[in-house]
Amino acid sequence: MIRRLLLSFFLLSSTYLSVSAQQQPRLQWSINDSWKYLPQGADFAQRPKSDDSKWQSVNIPHTWNAKDPFDDDETSRRDISWYRKRLLLDQRFRNKKIYLNFEGAYQVADVYVNGVFAGQHKGGYTAFTLDITHLVKLGDSPAENLIAVQLNNAQDNFIPPLSIGYASYGGIYRDAWLISTNKLHYKLLDHGSSGIFISTPRVDSTAALVNIRGTVNNDDEVERKLEMLHLIYDARGKEISRIHKSYTVAAGREMVFALDLPEIRKPELWSPDKPYLYTVKSQLLENGQIIDELNNPLGFRWYSFDANKGFSLNGKKLVLKGTNRHQDMKDHGDALSAEDHYRDLKLIKDMGCNFLRLAHYPQAPEVLKLADRLGLLIWEEIPLVNYMNPVPEFLKNSKIMIREMIRQNYNHPSVIIWGSMNEVLLWSEKAERIQVQENAEYVSKVKRYAKQLDSTVRAEDPYRYSTMAMHMGDDYDKYGLSDIPQLASYNIYNGWYSGKAAEFKSIIDEKHHQNPKQVLFISEYGAEADNRVNTEHPQRFDFTGQYQRMYHESYLSQIGQMPYLAGTAIWNQFDFSQPNVGGVSNNMNQKGMVTWDRKPKDSYYLYKANWNAEPMVYIASRDWTHRAGLAGNPSTIEVYSNLGEVTLRVNGVVVGTKKPDHIKKMVWKVNLKEGLNEISATGKSAAGLFNDHLVLNYKVYTAELERMPRPFTQLAVNVGSNTQYLDNSDHIWLEDRPYRSGGFGCTGGSPAMLNIKTVKKNTNDNPLFYTYQDDIKGYRFDVPDGTYDLELCFIEPDKIQAGERVFDVNVNGERLLEHLDLMAGYGFGVAVKKKYRISANGAGVQVAFKAIRGKAVLSGIKLKAVL
């Protein structure tokens, strides 16, 4: 009784594992649950006797940076943590081999079993397996074993990534497993792989050849004789081919094998449209009994890239319509569940993509399984991003990562490209732009290392293509990097960081012209959007969905005119965390088609209309639920649809019927009324009627305030901006305007925006403080006499010294703020709101800014009548 009680007590916090028959094939248990976690370093935490009763209880996947992924934020932690887990193992594990497998732990893991060091793994994005047979205790009543993992996510100059642009989430953030095998088994200690490598050296629609290679370990003290059997099953579970061989493996030795299976006639082909999967079952048998067994996916497809014709799959041209994915999301960080991965890949597939770049690192095994199943062609790469430390140890670690990535994912038919690096000539160690000419030594080392990494890729996998993502310009051509990999991939941001979206085609045409034998791929293009800012007049860098759509519409139509292009990948499918950038949302990169909490943006539907044949109609600017506009100015309604024609109705009245243009878009100008407006768009296909519907809350305002359709209550302006900002309480901050008599607006100065990298402090109204009027002289509201609350929003936009910008603010002749020095008083990038009760007597509200030193600035203004 006492023993049972004790056991059930243990079971609460430990995992009890048991195997039955001695020669049973391998078993694999999830050990995700009931870990203890300590968010700091600790001496002797690996020792079973150390007390962890006060540690937090967590389940895996887990990250300690889920809420604070942002590098320079004081709350972010890039340091050591400990994890511990108890495992109860009974005597039935005797004569078994026991392994731990971690699918991903960021980034240096030291693993201990029962206080003894079991192994170390460097790199946060690839799996690793450790043999712990010699370290475990087995008991008649199960013996308790302690797994302890010290994990460190601090930057390590010898481990990619170094200078990145996305968060480094510490934690055991992917699944963890305990695996037991017999002493005779397929090798588990080959770079975290399954130990079996399947290739299809020849495939066409009439026949396919399959080659299976791998290694068997005999960890026994005696020679063992075995039968090896590989069986191929079709998707319905019918056996279609097999190979059988006998071997003898000496005691304590490993045996490498490579087998060609009998030709398979008329294979079903794998493609994004029809991702037909076979399964390869690999068995080891002794005396007719199965002693090890493994399943791997198999897909039959052949493909090639051509500098002039682009990509072809199974003998037919296929335009690669792609996107990129970072693996983090709001509140979860990198610790995603299988359901999260499924939702993400479904969102990608449903948008109409057939291609996905796993940027900038290998992603969870589940992702590759889903890509095989859903039909997404994959580019996977190691996290050598932006900067490389050109020393042998860094190179060594990068090569290991390449081997781990390729061996772990070798059998997935979805994978077609391996990437070895991204934009290594762009940013320096200190995240400053590299001047390539002045860094000849760095550049020549990068070239040497790039060659070695590319050869590692090709040696590991001669059946797939190698690539490298480069930023635009001709540095990579000039210094001989662009022709190292088989595919030259470019990240292009004309229309966002510089230039115009319309320049895309001519730039890439020029590359094609200069290097006619180079296969060109567009690995990134994108622009940012935040659904809280909207405009009728989109401009580069304004973060509106309208600009993001304009940008993508332009790229999309140009892509269609470049038949030589192998494919393209949008940057990025999902918004992701990017430490140390500002924009209109701190520490976020908002180039996603989908928000950080996984809500599709308008641009998502632009692509869906063009890339997914399923009938659809979608009214854009969907999140601009509260709009305001000048009386008499029509509003723009844009609709995406792949139907033949669409009819738009506003408040039940037909506005018109149009056919979608070449990028499946229709535009109407409509007059909205004050209050709620119902917009609907309807089209027909063979499958029936399709409809989209939207309710907009519209506020009319007039150039002359006294003609307003309602008594003046309040006006808020996003000063220095062309966008309307909708705040948390659905209040509209109007786009700015120059003052005209009888109305409201700004006098003097010019619109400006903060450096995109400026992380704003002290505010939830980030978009408001992103833009400002520089050198402002005044702000006027020609409102009736009365009492008002006036709110002024400021931010110091420049890294200046205290005293360099000092100004006074007067209202209706009275001094409100004297010698305001934002730098001295608050510091750089700190949002400040000041509120005053004032009165208007005959001349409205006139705010005057008087610069004493430097220029006066203003980011937002709100005037509210006190009723």
Q: Which of 63, 491, 610, 641 binds ligand GCB (CB under 6 A)?
A: 491
Token reading at 138: 């087995």
For residue 586, which of 332, 753, 760 has the smallest C-alpha distance?
760
String of DSSP letters for 662-716: TTSEEEEEEPPPSEEEEEEEEEEETTEEEEEEEEEEEEEE-SSGGG-SS---EEE
Which of positions 448-487 make contact with ligand GCB (CB under 6 A)?
471
Q: How many Å apart are CA 524 and CA 517, to the nearest integer?
A: 21
- 360 or 658: whose CB is closer to ligand GCB? 360
In contact, 501 and 551? CB cutoff 8 Å: yes
The CB-of-426 to ligand GCB minimum distance in angstroms stands at 7
Which of positions 584-623 make contact with ligand GCB (CB under 6 A)?
589, 591
Q: Does 160 bind ligand GCB (CB under 6 A)?
A: no
Q: Which of 103, 524, 692, 796 binds ligand GCB (CB under 6 A)?
A: 524
- 491 or 758: whose CB is closer to ligand GCB? 491
The CB-of-428 to ligand GCB minimum distance in angstroms stands at 15
Placement of tokens 């030594």 in the chain: 441
In Å, what is the CA distance from 218 to each residue of 252, 399, 738? 5, 28, 82
For residue 359, which of 13, 19, 592 has the smallest C-alpha distance?
592
Which of positions 203-232 make contact with ligand GCB (CB under 6 A)?
none
Q: Which residue is nearest to ligand GCB (CB)?
A: 491
For residue 699, which of 673, 717, 665, 667 has the smallest C-alpha distance?
673
Using CA atoms of 711, 717, 721, 727 in order, give the dihedral in degrees to the nearest 10.
Answer: -100
DSSP 134: G
- Return the CA Rg of the chain: 31
In Å, what is the CA distance from 378 to each residue of 321, 323, 491, 560, 670? 11, 10, 17, 21, 43
Helix (H, G, I), strand (E, B) or coil at 469: strand
Which of positions 356-415 make contact with ligand GCB (CB under 6 A)?
360
Token reading at 704: 């002359």
User: How many Cα atoms occupy the beta-carbon half-sphere of 297 within 13 Å?
Assistant: 23
- 474 or 678: whose CB is closer to ligand GCB? 474
The CB-of-382 to ligand GCB minimum distance in angstroms stands at 14
Q: In sequence order, what are the residues at sequence separation of 6 or more whose Cβ sits closer than 8 angstroms to the Cβ of residue 128? A: 101, 102, 105, 109, 119, 121, 192, 404
- 384 or 823: whose CB is closer to ligand GCB? 384
- Each residue 703-742 as x (binds ligand GCB by CB under 6 A) or -, in order, gives ----------------------------------------
What is the enclosing helix (H) or strand (E) of 80? strand 80-89
Q: How many Å apart are CA 858 and CA 822, to the nearest integer?
A: 11
- 290 or 756: whose CB is closer to ligand GCB? 756
The CB-of-326 to ligand GCB minimum distance in angstroms stands at 8
Handedness of CA 331, 337, 343, 348 (dihedral sign): positive
In contact, 853 and 800? CB cutoff 8 Å: no
The CB-of-322 to ligand GCB minimum distance in angstroms stands at 14
The CB-of-523 to ligand GCB minimum distance in angstroms stands at 8
- 84 or 591: whose CB is closer to ligand GCB? 591
Q: Which of 123, 124, 165, 582 binds ligand GCB (CB under 6 A)?
A: 165
Q: Does 422 bind ligand GCB (CB under 6 A)?
A: yes
- 360 or 601: whose CB is closer to ligand GCB? 360
680-684-690 Cα angle (round to 5): 45
The CB-of-471 to ligand GCB minimum distance in angstroms stands at 6
- 387 or 571: whose CB is closer to ligand GCB? 571
In contact, 38 and 82? CB cutoff 8 Å: yes
The CB-of-440 to ligand GCB minimum distance in angstroms stands at 23
- 360 or 412: whose CB is closer to ligand GCB? 360
Cis peptide, bond prior to residue 518, ω within 30 of zero: no
Q: How many Å apart are CA 189 and CA 123, to the nearest integer?
A: 17
The CB-of-430 to ligand GCB minimum distance in angstroms stands at 17
Residue 558 has phi, psi (to 5 degrees) of: -75, -35
Residue 209 has phi, psi (to 5 degrees) of: -110, 140
The CB-of-703 to ligand GCB minimum distance in angstroms stands at 39
User: How many Cα atoms occupy the beta-carbon half-sphere of 549 within 13 Å?
Assistant: 29
The CB-of-442 to ligand GCB minimum distance in angstroms stands at 19
The CB-of-667 to ligand GCB minimum distance in angstroms stands at 28
For residue 187, which of 298, 299, 297, 282 has the smallest C-alpha distance?
282
Q: Which of 99, 476, 571, 769 binds ligand GCB (CB under 6 A)?
A: 571
- 334 or 524: whose CB is closer to ligand GCB? 524
Burial class for 692, CB neighbours closer than 10 Å (0-12, 13-18, 19+): buried
Q: Are strands 688-701 and 626-630 parallel, antiparallel or unpaired?
A: parallel
Token reading at 782: 């020609």
Cα diameter, the chain: 105
Q: Does 494 bind ligand GCB (CB under 6 A)?
A: no
- 164 or 226: whose CB is closer to ligand GCB? 164
The CB-of-589 to ligand GCB minimum distance in angstroms stands at 5
Q: In one letter, which amino acid is 485?
A: P
String of DSSP letters for 51-73: --TTSEEE-SS--TTSS---TTS
- 447 or 591: whose CB is closer to ligand GCB? 591
- 313 or 584: whose CB is closer to ligand GCB? 584
- 64 or 490: whose CB is closer to ligand GCB? 490
- 117 or 497: whose CB is closer to ligand GCB? 497
Q: How many Å apart are CA 244 and CA 284, to the nearest integer?
A: 10
- 307 or 436: whose CB is closer to ligand GCB? 436
The CB-of-545 to ligand GCB minimum distance in angstroms stands at 17
Alpha-helical regions (H) of 498-538: 504-514
Token reading at 588: 């976020």
The CB-of-766 to ligand GCB minimum distance in angstroms stands at 17
- 65 or 163: whose CB is closer to ligand GCB? 163
Size of the site for ligand GCB (CB under 6 A): 10
The CB-of-806 to ligand GCB minimum distance in angstroms stands at 35
Q: Which of 328, 404, 423, 727 binds ligand GCB (CB under 6 A)?
A: 423
Q: How many Å apart are CA 735 and CA 539, to the nearest integer?
A: 13
- Each residue 324-343 as x (binds ligand GCB by CB under 6 A) or -, in order, gives --------------------
The CB-of-554 to ligand GCB minimum distance in angstroms stands at 17
User: How many Cα atoms occupy the beta-carbon half-sphere of 457 within 13 Å?
Assistant: 25
The CB-of-530 to ligand GCB minimum distance in angstroms stands at 14
- 161 or 778: whose CB is closer to ligand GCB? 161
Footprint of ligand GCB (CB under 6 A):
165, 360, 422-423, 471, 491, 524, 571, 589, 591
